[in-house]
């Protein structure tokens, strides 16, 4: 059995949708395919995206075996596309690409690349140790300019669910601090208002707090943070976390840059 048939076999019995990670795990559990790749989860995710209705990029297949049924943060939940719809024929894809300007093709490919990197970042975080995640968010906030220098952050050991995971001093005397709580939750674990209330209670005399999670926040939690009068509370969910990590290059490395050009009409008008 090839990988795509294994994926279809798993999804043939599903009605609510599975993530690519869950599909991979079920394939392994049922011994449907023997993976030899270094990063088999990424292979499964790539094959699903290549054959998924509504996800189109230059190397995507015109035949769509799968469809997205819901999305939580950057994580898609997939089901079989039982009608086996074709988004576009190969000829139509080629014709549409011919109509795009070269820089438009580059931008489309770049956007697909960034989306894929963000998904991989969240997966890497979920596979890491919880203590590493605390260090990660500390590194991120320092990179964003919080703290008086690169050593202004301190990981608080022995923290619990209602405690503080990290403290950042905004000045050398520690007169102004930021408390951080970092929760490495699966994407389907929604952070509710009670968790934020415990965090605010643990902040005591510190006025600034940042709650960071790999999942998402409930509507009640978002409203609580927005209307919070005792503290200056900011929330970062998995979507924003991945975006910030790419923007400030935490956990990613820039490999190559490309410039785009246009004709300088002013230069030629002087001739």
Among residues 49, 76, 99, the one where a domain terminates is: 99
Residues 152 and 230 in one domain: yes
Is residue 199 assigned to a domain?
yes
Is residue 94 assigned to a domain?
yes
Residues 85 and 36 in one domain: yes
Query: Residue 99: its pLDDT value, please?
Result: 60
Query: Residue 88: its pLDDT value, please?
Result: 47
- In the sheet that holds 208-213, the strands lie side by side as 153-155, 166-169, 177-183, 208-213, 232-236
Query: Residue 157: its pLDDT value, please?
Result: 65
Enter the pTM of the model. Answer: 0.65
Residues 86 and 151 in one domain: no
Q: Rounded to an integer, what distance in angstroms lies between the CA atom of residue 7 and that of residue 31?
A: 12
Q: Rounded to an integer, what distance in angstroms lies between the CA atom of residue 7 and that of residue 30?
A: 11
Give the tokens for residue 158.
């022995």
Domain that holds residue 156: 130-247
Residues 135 and 238 in one domain: yes
Is residue 258 assigned to a domain?
no
Which CATH number goes with the domain that contains 240?
A: 3.40.1350.10
Q: Rounded to an integer, what distance in angstroms lies between the CA atom of residue 206 and that of residue 204?
A: 6
Q: How many domains does the chain have?
A: 2
Residues 213 and 136 in one domain: yes
Is residue 263 assigned to a domain?
no
Query: pLDDT 10s digit of each residue in the chain, 271 long?
Result: 788 889 999 999 888 899 999 999 999 999 998 877 667 888 898 889 888 988 877 677 888 889 998 887 778 899 998 765 554 444 554 555 566 677 777 887 888 888 888 888 988 999 888 889 999 999 999 999 999 998 899 998 655 555 799 999 999 998 999 999 999 998 778 899 999 999 999 998 999 999 999 989 999 999 999 998 889 999 999 989 999 999 999 999 998 888 888 888 888 987 6
- CA 48 from chain center: how many Å? 17
Query: Residue 53: its pLDDT value, please?
Result: 86
Residues 135 and 94 in one domain: no
Residues 78 and 135 in one domain: no
Is residue 110 assigned to a domain?
no
Is residue 230 assigned to a domain?
yes
Is residue 194 assigned to a domain?
yes
Give the tokens for residue 39.
């990063």
Is residue 107 assigned to a domain?
no
- Which residues make beta-bridge pairs with 68? 78
Give the tokens for residue 138.
């500390």
């Amino acid at each position: 059995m090839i990988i795509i048939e294994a994926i279809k076999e798993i999804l043939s019995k599903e009605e609510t949708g599975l993530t690519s990670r869950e599909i991979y795990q079920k394939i392994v559990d049922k011994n449907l395919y023997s993976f030899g790749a270094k990063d088999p989860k990424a292979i499964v995710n790539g094959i699903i995206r290549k054959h998924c209705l509504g996800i189109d990029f230059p190397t995507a297949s015109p035949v769509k075996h799968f469809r997205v049924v819901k999305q939580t943060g950057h994580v898609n939940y997939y089901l079989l596309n039982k009608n086996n719809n074709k988004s576009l024929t190969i000829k139509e894809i080629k014709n549409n690409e011919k109509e795009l300007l070269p820089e438009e093709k580059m931008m489309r490919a770049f956007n697909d690349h960034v989306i894929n990197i963000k998904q991989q970042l969240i997966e890497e975080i979920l596979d890491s140790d919880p203590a590493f995640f605390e260090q990660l968010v500390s590194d991120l906030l320092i990179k964003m300019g919080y703290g008086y220098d690169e050593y202004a952050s301190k990981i608080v050991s022995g923290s619990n669910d209602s405690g503080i995971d990290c403290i950042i001093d905004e000045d050398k005397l520690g007169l102004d601090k930021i408390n951080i709580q970092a929760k490495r939750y699966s994407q389907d674990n929604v952070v509710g208002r009670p968790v934020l209330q415990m965090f605010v209670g643990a902040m005591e005399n510190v006025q600034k707090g940042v709650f960071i999670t790999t999942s998402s926040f409930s509507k009640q939690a978002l409203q609580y943070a927005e209307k919070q009068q005792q503290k200056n509370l900011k929330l970062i969910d998995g979507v924003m976390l991945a975006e910030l990590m790419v923007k400030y290059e935490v956990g990613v490395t820039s490999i190559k840059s490309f410039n785009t050009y246009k004709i300088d009409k002013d230069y030629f008008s002087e001739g």
